[in-house]
């Protein structure tokens, strides 16, 4: 599915890909705005993780929390939708997460 960015998104920096089975330490409760996402630490990195990616305090799948930096008008290819966030690729092939509220479907 393609989408057009309608609101700039700057992200929170680059992260490594964490392997399935990595220990996830939750540092707070569910995010008030983005339901089913939790603040956490993974291998020393402060980030957020979707509840569905967790199993008994471990990652249930490989996960890279890097957000996709995009500007209004950019077109992205949506690869996955997880609790109001999209995992997508831009025309340069960069991948990352972007809030669904910042795009419209094409």
pLDDT for position 73: 98
The whole-angstrom separation of Cα 73 and Cα 49 is 28
Q: Is 99 found in the same domain as 79?
A: yes
Which pLDDT tens digit goes with each residue over 61-79? 999 999 999 999 999 999 9
Q: Is 79 found in the same domain as 49?
A: no
Residue carrying structure tokens 């949506």: 78
The whole-angstrom separation of Cα 60 and Cα 55 is 5
pTM above 0.85, yes or no: yes
Q: Is 89 found in the same domain as 71?
A: yes
Q: Is 32 found in the same domain as 6?
A: no
Host H or E run for residue 85: strand 85-89
Q: Is 95 found in the same domain as 76?
A: yes
How many structural domains does the chain have?
Answer: 2
Domain boundaries, position 33 = 24-59
In a domain, 18, yes or no: no
Please, which pLDDT band fits residue 18 given cuts at 50, 70 and 90? Answer: very high
Q: Is 74 found in the same domain as 51?
A: no
In a domain, 98, yes or no: yes
The CATH code of the domain that includes 99 is 2.30.30.40
In a domain, 42, yes or no: yes
In a domain, 17, yes or no: no
Host H or E run for residue 103: strand 103-105
């Amino acid at each position: 599915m393609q989408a057009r960015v309608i609101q700039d998104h700057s992200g929170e920096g680059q992260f490594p890909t964490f392997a399935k089975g990595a220990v996830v330490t939750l540092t707070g409760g569910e995010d008030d705005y983005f339901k089913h996402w939790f603040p956490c630490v993974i291998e020393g990195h402060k980030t957020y993780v979707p509840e569905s990616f967790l199993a008994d305090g471990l990652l249930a799948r490989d996960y890279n929390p890097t957000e996709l930096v995009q500007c209004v008008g950019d077109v992205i290819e949506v690869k996955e939708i997880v609790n109001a966030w999209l995992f997508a690729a831009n025309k340069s092939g960069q991948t990352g997460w972007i809030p669904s509220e910042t795009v419209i479907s094409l």
